[in-house]
Chains A and B, each alone.
Chain A
């Protein structure tokens, strides 16, 4: 009982929107697609809804071909990032619309609409038109319409992206509770923000340039990004990736930035690697490595600095609000305990998270070779 995709490709005007996408989704679970803009998230969701056709590959539901099934037969609920409601119907009729199409009796419709309206806190707006509501309320109506019907699949395509920060936080919290109560159907949610995925507590599908690059629990993806692309997509700001050479117990990032291998990495074989280090793990420290500040942004209570360490561009994130002028110098150090190591193909060799050891990683790699 599941939706299975095998090697799906979709190209529009010569641009690949989906590339060799394969997955198997069970019928009841909560998935979160994380990827940047244009990663193929929306295309994949529209494909599942029946709004997009594929060029090659197979998409099946419980073994039956899904590609030929028109959207009005699929029993899919969908919420767009724009607030899409029927402008000519009041909010009650908006929510009741799919039930009327399904031919439910009047009393059942009223009961179902009132129930979902109370869950989403929109009872008082039912007599109004969607255009008389605020953005957050309109999106609640859209969600209510998606929830009210007996759908097997509920799709939410960046539903919070057009809302202001406070409302986003609030709705996200509500969504988390609602979706965790919805385990009798498959819920797929897409977002560009890794933090949102972490908070929503579901299985994460990471997409990049039309490909699925990792599927796993949010924590797992965060602690063990399968490769450098996941490390970039699933961290905000993206994880810093620096090439370096290990030679004689030292890591040479460039001529000037040379650091001693920490104890837990002593067994790392000499050679070239890509090292990953999160922005928060680059610390401002006196008497360390001198860097030049290229850009400083203050994000809430954090300061994000874009710095240049010789020829290496890095992003650091510091607690608190600090003012830096352009071109000012900042002394930084890496927290090597938090260092990720990727091989030259970009695949993860070592993660600083627990249950990971360099020896095992090296052995695994040898086995592969």
Chain B
């Protein structure tokens, strides 16, 4: 195949794939500006021509509309839980990963590899297995239906991801750099903070991004561990879907829930490239 033919093929394929990925968002965007009439009259996309745009959907979810289902409060709760759990998971997970990467542990038959696997195995288990233990534990602690309780549960879910990404990353930083830092007068903690962490920035970004995505998107625990006091965004969106589905509000809230992840992705884009390549280049 000659190269221009390949280029055309690549372009067509990418254009097709992009439309495939973008179409649902476009559909949600147009739907969010429709009313019941616009939704039921078939697939229409161009405002003022195909249908009469309305801000009802957005007014509803932002709390000023007649249907009064508000996603602002769940949105803020979700931000607290996601950022809190991700930040703590990243800090704890990074320390754990550095330890596992640099020191040899032995307790009975347990070695470093076993400990790493223990963390990863938390993600292998289906979440439903954990739901009852988590429920009972939070109940004992009086933390059911609270933001703090959810943060604790999410740390258990997100920290393994941080450990997994960071162990791999630290293993790619030569141990001699640690030794050199110590010979240059750094204690082990200073070595970690002053030399290893700055060199692990791309890894931290990747791990943090994974934590934020998984934390933000979780529905299962947000659903099983909250009732009336606290509600997270994924649960709030699903609860819109009552007897008569307000498609315009649903679309608006879906877009609201995607926005922060797009924002984060754009913010860390330049690190993502390097983070993914970090294992290959030294």
Contact = CB atoms under 8 A, between A and B. Distances in A.
Interface of A: 49-51, 70-72, 74, 76-78, 80, 82, 84, 86-88, 97-98, 101-102, 145, 149
Contact of A101 (B176, B186, B201): B186
A145 B174 contact: no
Interface stretch (B38-46, B93-101, B132-140, B177-185): B177-185
B176 A98 contact: no
B195 interface: yes
Contacts of B184: 72, 97-98, 101, 145, 149
Nearest to B197: A88
Nearest to B173: A87
Contact of B182 (A72, A80, A82, A145): A72
Given A80-B176, A82-B174, A82-B176, A70 B182 contact: yes
Nearest to B184: A98
Given A87-B199, A88-B198, A88-B199, A71 B182 contact: yes
Nearest to A46: B179
A138 to B, nearest CB: 12
Given A82-B176, A84-B177, A76 B183 contact: yes
B183 A77 contact: yes
B121 interface: no
B174 A84 contact: yes
Contacts of B176: 80, 82, 84
A88 B200 CA distance: 10
Interface of B: 174, 176-177, 179-187, 190, 195, 198-199, 201
Contacts of B199: 86-88
Which of B177, B180, B201 has its CB near the most chain A CB atoms (within 10 A)?
B180
Contacts of A149: 184
B198 A78 contact: no
A4 to B, nearest CB: 21
A185 to B, nearest CB: 14
Contact of A72 (B174, B177, B187, B195): B187
Which of A74, A87, A145 has its CB near the most chain B CB atoms (within 10 A)?
A87
A74 B186 CA distance: 11
Contact of A74 (B183, B187, B195, B201): B183
A80 B175 CA distance: 12
A72 B180 contact: no
Contacts of B198: 88
B98 to A, nearest CB: 16
A78 B183 contact: yes
B14 to A, nearest CB: 33
Nearest to A151: B183
A72 B179 contact: no
B148 to A, nearest CB: 36
B179 to A, nearest CB: 5
20 contacts: A51-B182, A51-B183, A70-B182, A70-B187, A71-B179, A71-B182, A72-B183, A72-B187, A78-B179, A80-B176, A82-B176, A84-B174, A86-B180, A86-B181, A87-B199, A88-B195, A88-B201, A98-B185, A101-B190, A149-B184
A78 B174 contact: no
B174 A101 contact: no
A49 B235 CA distance: 58
A72 B181 CA distance: 8
